[in-house]
Amino acid sequence: MKRAFYVTTPIYYISGNPHIGHAYTTVVADVLARTARTSGPAYFLTGTDEHGQKVANAATAAGTTPQAWCDELVPRWQKLFATYHVRYDDFIRTTEPRHESVVQRVFERLRDNGDVYLGKYEGWYCVNDETFWLEAKLVDGKCPTCGREVQWISEDDWFFRLSNYRDRLLQYYREHPEWVRPKSVYNEMVALLEEGLEDFSISRTNFDWGIPIPGGGGVIYVWFDALLNYISAIGWSSDPERFATYWPASVQLIGKEIARFHTLIWPAVLWALGEQAPELVFAHGWITVDGQKMGKSLGNAVDPFALAERFGADSLRYFLLREAPFGSDFSYSEAKIAQRHNSDLGNDLGNLVRRSLSMLFKYRDGVVPPGDATGSEVGAAMATLPQRVRSLILSLDFRGALEAVWELVVTLNRRIDDQKPWVLHREERDTELDALLYDLCEGIRWLAMLLHPVMPERTAEMWRQLGATAPIDADWSEALRWGGLAPGTRVVLGDALFPRIELDAAGS
């Protein structure tokens, strides 16, 4: 089987409601997967992280079982992704048997080869944060992050021999300076490696909502369990051929706060299993509100459903990818979303489609005329655009990719003003008018295909208005040749693709 592009998001911890940040990461993964598919196979995995004491406690508080609690919450996440037009190939839940069996097999394998050993863990433990603290870190004898009471825990725990992999990690970082991005996260991790790594506990005995350790002795620590989703979903140890198709992952998207799990512990675990580290781990930036990180605890989380309702999911997708360089933080505001929507999508793109199709109706009864038999200037100028766009997206430069696509938008708008089709029509210069109208329609076809990964729903509407019948997500190298739109195609004059959004004076 051919190697495929494999992209993952973190699996989302099942507590509380999803916010716009969760949609962000997942949308980015979706755009990568959809773009990769324009030249070959791709696989996009997301899912939920469902074990751990916090989930157990929340379920108890709700008067239900942890499993029932998770079953109730999972659809909210799936609904979020559906709202944002995300099409994943697989949604894994860590409570599924296919995952649990892999985690247990991994544990057995590592215990057999000595990377996992039995030791004693003693320390102060905060239940809320699921975190062990050194005595020196405690504030007034309480948890330094949440301020709650901590308890003294002394237990026999299983440990992963992370310290053994420190030298190999350091060497790997030196030889692969691009494997963790952006650079700031890479630097942080190298600094941590230089300080040294300690073995860490991968078992818990003080609660039981987790994957049982084979042979007894508690449950597996939720983080160790969670990381393995990336390989349990693609058949590690159960379907070697399938696994080899996808692993190592092409891109693993994460948030900055979970970088050490994904870029220190995760590769070490993989190596302990005899597998390769992922090709790229990318920690993206935060959506901020007034420069402050968004989060439940800060009370400034934005409801992603309301936002999609107001601006349209595709406009939001465009905004998230276009507004800031990928990797940097960027500040969210409704005014900025509205500005992008109105300016880029409404004025430039939507209006281009509207004015082009309108003229096609006015001058040619809505039927695509033949193009210039001697070739199109626009077509020649845009010949390399698809491969540029794909390459920019797959290197995670979404902003650059969208700017490149806008070269075509600007070119077509300018062409209309330069050639003045209303004059061509008045003077009955039919061949010139045909050639121009053809280029406009063909250009719109290109735009629909090029932007489809970013705005799947609105581009499908463009496609419908254009009367195109071929698949919109076909292989670019085949479909994006100038002249692909058949003359004689009947277009449809539909509603505006991106109607203007007016914010009231107070709207910010």
Partner RNA sequence: GGCUCGGUAGCUCAGUGGUAGAGCAGGGGACUCAUAAGCCCUUGGUCGCAAGUUCGAAUCUUGCCCGAGUCACCA
Binding mask 361-390 for RNA (x = CB under 7 A): -x----------------------------
Using the contact rule CB under 7 A, the part of the chain among 58-66, 169-177, 282-290, 366-374 near RNA is 282-290
Which residue, among 89, 116, 112, has the nearest Cα to 4 in the 3D structure?
A: 89
Question: Which of 21, 278, 312, 443 lies at the binding interface for RNA (CB under 7 A)?
Answer: 21
What secondary structure, in 3-state letters, does 118-181 show? EEEEEEEEECCCCEEECHHHCECCECCCCCCECEEEEEEEEEECHHHHHHHHHHHHHHCCCCEE
- Nearer Cβ to RNA, position 179 or 330? 330
Nearer to RNA, 224 or 476 (CB): 224
Residue choice 101, 164, 245, 331 for contact with RNA (CB under 7 A): 331
Tokens of 81: 């992704």
396 scored as a contact of RNA (CB under 7 A): no
Closest approach of RNA to the CB of residue 165, in Å? 15
CA distance 413 to 416: 5
Total residues contacting RNA by CB under 7 A comes to 76
**Piece of 30-38, 80-88, 279-287, 482-490 that binds RNA (CB under 7 A):** 279-287
Smaller CB separation from RNA, 74 or 253:
253
Is residue 308 within 8 A of residue 84, CB to CB? The reply is: yes
Tokens of 176: 């692969």
Distance in Å, CB of 39 to RNA, minimum? 26
Which residue in 4, 5, 6, 12 binds RNA (CB under 7 A)? 12
Of 324, 394, 460, 503, the one binding RNA by CB under 7 A:
324
When binding is defined by CB under 7 A, the residue of 436, 466, 472, 497 that contacts RNA is: 497
Q: Which is nearer to RNA, 188 or 432 (CB)?
A: 188
Residue selected from 8, 25, 46, 203 as contacting RNA according to rule CB under 7 A: 25
Residues 201-220 close enough to bind RNA by CB under 7 A: 201
Assess contact for 326 and 399: CB atoms under 8 A: yes
> Among 79, 120, 148, 414, which residue interacts with RNA (rule: CB under 7 A)?
414
DSSP code per residue over 237-281:
TT-HHHHHHHPSPSEEEEEGGGHHIIIIIHHHHHHHTT-PPPS-E
Collect all residues with Cβ–Cβ distance below 8 Å to 361 and sequence separation of at least 6: 491, 493
Query: Please, which of residues 144-183 interact with RNA by CB under 7 A?
Result: 145, 183
Q: Give the Cα separation of 42 and 40 in Å (integer).
A: 7
Please state the separation of Cα 172 from the chain's center in Å.
26
Beta bridge partners of 292: 289
User: Applying CB under 7 A, does 358 fall inside the site for RNA?
Assistant: yes
508 binds RNA (CB under 7 A): no
Nearest 5°: the CA angle 28, 31, 33 is 110
**CB under 7 A: which stretch of 100-108, 173-181, 285-293, 473-481 binds RNA?**
285-293
Tell me the C-alpha distance between 41 and 12, whole Å. 25
Distances (CA, A) of 368 to 391, 431, 467: 31, 13, 10
Q: Which of 256, 310, 388, 464 binds RNA (CB under 7 A)?
A: 256
Tell which positions 87-126 bind RNA, by CB under 7 A. Answer: none
**Footprint of RNA on 437-496 (CB under 7 A):** 496
> Cβ 66 to RNA, closest distance in Å?
16
What minimum distance in Å lies between the beta carbon of 383 and RNA? 21
Determine, following the binding rule CB under 7 A, whether residue 304 of this chain makes contact with RNA: no
The set of long-range contacts for 69-72, using a CB threshold of 8 Å and a minimum separation of 24, is: 69/14, 70/14, 70/95
129, with CB counted inside 10 A (0-12, 13-18, 19+), is: middle
Amino acid at 412: L
- CA 386, 391, 394 angle in degrees (round to 5)? 125
Please give the residues from 338 up to 357 whose contact with RNA meets the rule CB under 7 A.
339, 343, 345-351, 353-355
Q: Decide if residue 321 touches RNA (CB under 7 A).
A: no
Instruction: Give yes or no for residue 413 binding RNA (CB under 7 A).
Output: yes
Residue carrying the six token digits 């609105």: 458
Verify binding: residue 499, RNA, rule CB under 7 A: yes
**Closest distance to RNA from the beta carbon of 191 (Å):** 4
> Per the structure block, which two tokens stand in for 46?
């997301």
70 binds RNA (CB under 7 A): no
Smallest gap from Cβ 74 to RNA, in A, equals 14
Cα–Cα dist 393/453, whole Å: 10
Closest approach, Cβ 407 to RNA, in A, equals 11
State which residue, 235 or 404, has the beta carbon closest to RNA: 404
Report the SS3 class of residue 409.
Answer: helix
**Closer residue to RNA in complex, CB, 236/326:** 326
What CA–CA distances, in Å, run from 316 to 24, 25, 29, 254, 389?
9, 13, 15, 20, 20
Span near RNA by CB under 7 A; candidates 17-25, 266-274, 303-311, 390-398: 17-25
Residue 291 binds RNA, judged by CB under 7 A: yes
* Closer of 5 and 326 to RNA (Cβ): 326
